A and B are shown apart, each in its own frame.
Chain A
Amino acid sequence: MNKSEVMIETVDLQKYFKDLHVLKGINTKVTRSEVVAVMGPSGSGKSTFLRCLNRMEEPTSGHIYVEGIDIMAPYIDINKVRTEIGMVFQSFNLFPHLNAIENIKLAPMHVRKISDKEATERGMELLDKVGLVEKALAYPEQLSGGQQQRIAIARALAMQPQIMFFDEPTSALDPEMIGEVLDVMRRMAKEGMTMIVVSHEMGFIKEAAGRILFMADGVIVEEGTPDEIFNNSQHQRTQDFLSKIL
């Protein structure tokens, strides 16, 4: 496994919503095991950027390469590509008609076609990893927000993805639950998972992120290590934003 292998690359990524120019040419690369934090004021396009990377949102133009494959190419099997990219949402989006372990094993069984028994075993290991083995049979409505989000992470990990996307994973959580979710994410970062995280959790970013992309008005204004961005920002936009959230 090559540490500098490029997992995701975007070339001049553009996105319009009708007349609204949301992404104005994004060029960046994410290499294996890198943890990239995407920050920026609301409306800067950071969530749209992330959602374009697995074509959850259809980009208007530009190129996206996932493990070297141009996923904007016509007739590409995007479902197959998405199995390599785990995604965690702000609103958890667990399937309410399934319990925790069923949520986790649904995709491995139906997409990866592994047996129920094997999927259950691996699912239980993941539940153990996020500290929720005892909630295996609980339904989402019986779980707290923090627990739901940890199950959602386990569900994404069950597909054994190469890359994980986090779209504001702690924004919908009560303050006392943020820690338990960030702990799980921290551990994943340490284990070498390639991660792109849209978040403003400063503590987590300082500790776990290798690089910050600071976005505003649909462009990457500035990028650098947490130290460079937080302590030595070169741009007025970045400084203004940081002064508001610090």
Chain B
Amino acid sequence: MTQDNNSMETPSRLADVKAKVGQIPLIRKSQFLYSYLAFLVVYGIFLLPSKGSPSPVELIIVAIYFLLAIVWAAIVFSDELKSNKLKTAIAFGILILLGWLYYMYSTARWSEMSQLFFNVEVIRKAWPYLVRGFWTTIFLAIAAAIISTILGLLLAVFRSFNSPVLNFFIVLYVDVFRAIPIIVLMMVIYYAFPFMNIRLSAIMSGIVALGLNSSAYVSEIFRAGFLSIKKGQIEAAHALGLNAMQTMRLVILPQAFQVVIPPLVGNYVASAKDTALASSISIIELLKAGLAQKSLLANPSPLIFVTVLYMVMFVPLTQFSGYLEKKMQSSRRQVNV
């Protein structure tokens, strides 16, 4: 084939694309979407079983209904011409549908929910104990944070000396305490150590276990912070006559802290949540207080209340650490530009 032929006669590979310009595919047509929606409404009215526990066949009918609704939503979602507002509304719609279906066909005692889950009278009775549990949780979290920060920072500083022997033991420490589940560590310290005549109170056992576990993570975070500092920074400090301590204090730590704070806050939040594990060694922190009051008052409201309390405490903290991380990334990007 000559070059001339090639350019003249080979049809464009985009010919079929060109032919379809201006055509609307079936599933993108509004008639199709409206018909589908109408079908869903009709299905909902005539085929869905009535409220109550469904039979297996009815359950399948409900499942198919929900699946079809999801497919409809997916079609709209994948439409490049539909607005984000519409898509948000549909997302909420699906959530509401899911909640409604669960409400209709689960056999939960919905009518007694306020009595069982949100019983103000029960919570009022449990209140003083829950408050005491709350402060114990806060105390555990702060004590563990202080211990893990001191230990972790020390380990990271020792690690920065780059001594093979020292590093071996530090890596061993970090690996061991990251590997042992916190609850196991707590139980060993509280239930096994007394046999050796090493006696720690429940609360001390909890703090030590949480602190040791968290310190392993904190040391890794600080190590990453130190590693992020360029060699030139240390050289510049030495060239000015700063000794090792001054270089650490005036040049390395201030820069490392900037890098380290977002993951550090994240770690504190995770460690604070782990305080709930202390309930397993008879520490009456928030969870244990809620559980005890649930049994005592024969009503789960305290437990539900405790859950809400954890949420109120940790949702803002989790968001805060996420915010710090984002801020950190954007400021780094600025530096790089």
- Chain A contacts to B: CB under 8 angstroms: 54, 56, 79-80, 82-83, 85-87, 89, 91, 93-97, 106-107, 110-111, 141, 152, 155-156, 159
Residue of A nearest to B254 (CB): A97
Bound-state CA distance A106–B230 (Å) is 19
By a CB distance below 8 angstroms, the chain B residues around A159 are 240-241
Q: B246: which of A80, A93, A97, A111 is its contact (CB, 8 Å)?
A: A111
- One digit per residue, 1 when the CB lies within 8 angstroms of any chain A CB and 0 when it does not, for chain B 57-83 equals 000000000000000000000000000
B242 touches A110 (CB 8 A): yes
B232 touches A93 (CB 8 A): yes
Q: B243: which of A56, A79, A86 is its contact (CB, 8 Å)?
A: A79
A89 touches B235 (CB 8 A): yes
- Chain B contacts to A: CB under 8 angstroms: 230, 232-233, 235-243, 246, 250-251, 254-255, 258, 334-335
A56 touches B258 (CB 8 A): no
Bound-state CA distance A82–B234 (Å) is 14
Task: Tell me the total A-B contact number using a CB cutoff of 8 A.
Answer: 62
A79 touches B255 (CB 8 A): no
A97 touches B258 (CB 8 A): yes
By a CB distance below 8 angstroms, the chain B residues around A80 are 241
Minimum CB–CB distance for A154 against chain B, Å: 12
By a CB distance below 8 angstroms, the chain A residues around B241 are 79-80, 82-83, 107, 111, 159
Residue of B nearest to A91 (CB): B232
Bound-state CA distance A111–B241 (Å) is 7
Bound-state CA distance A110–B249 (Å) is 11
Bound-state CA distance A96–B229 (Å) is 10
Given contacts A83-B240, A85-B239, A141-B334, 13 further A-B contacts (CB under 8 A): A87-B235, A89-B232, A93-B230, A93-B232, A93-B233, A94-B236, A95-B237, A95-B251, A106-B242, A110-B242, A111-B241, A111-B246, A156-B239
A82 touches B254 (CB 8 A): no
Minimum CB–CB distance for A149 against chain B, Å: 12
Minimum CB–CB distance for A57 against chain B, Å: 10
Minimum CB–CB distance for B318 against chain A, Å: 27
Q: A54: which of B239, B258, B335 is its contact (CB, 8 Å)?
A: B239
A111 touches B242 (CB 8 A): yes
B240 touches A96 (CB 8 A): no
By a CB distance below 8 angstroms, the chain A residues around B335 are 96, 141
Bound-state CA distance A40–B239 (Å) is 24
Q: B239: which of A82, A94, A96, A97 is its contact (CB, 8 Å)?
A: A82
A93 touches B236 (CB 8 A): yes
Bound-state CA distance A79–B247 (Å) is 11
B239 touches A110 (CB 8 A): no
Minimum CB–CB distance for B243 against chain A, Å: 5
B239 touches A79 (CB 8 A): no
Minimum CB–CB distance for B248 against chain A, Å: 12
Minimum CB–CB distance for A53 against chain B, Å: 11
Question: Taking each of A94, A96, A152, which has the highest tally of chain B beta carbons within 10 Å of its own beta carbon?
Answer: A96
By a CB distance below 8 angstroms, the chain B residues around A94 are 236
B240 touches A56 (CB 8 A): no
Residue of B nearest to A165 (CB): B239
Q: B236: which of A83, A95, A97, A141 is its contact (CB, 8 Å)?
A: A95
By a CB distance below 8 angstroms, the chain B residues around A83 are 240-241
Bound-state CA distance A86–B240 (Å) is 7
Q: Which 5 A-B pairs have the closest CB atoms?
A: A83-B241, A107-B240, A93-B236, A87-B239, A93-B232
Bound-state CA distance A82–B235 (Å) is 11
Question: Taking each of B235, B239, B242, which has the highest tally of chain A beta carbons within 10 Å of its own beta carbon?
Answer: B239
By a CB distance below 8 angstroms, the chain B residues around A82 are 238-241
Bound-state CA distance A224–B30 (Å) is 87
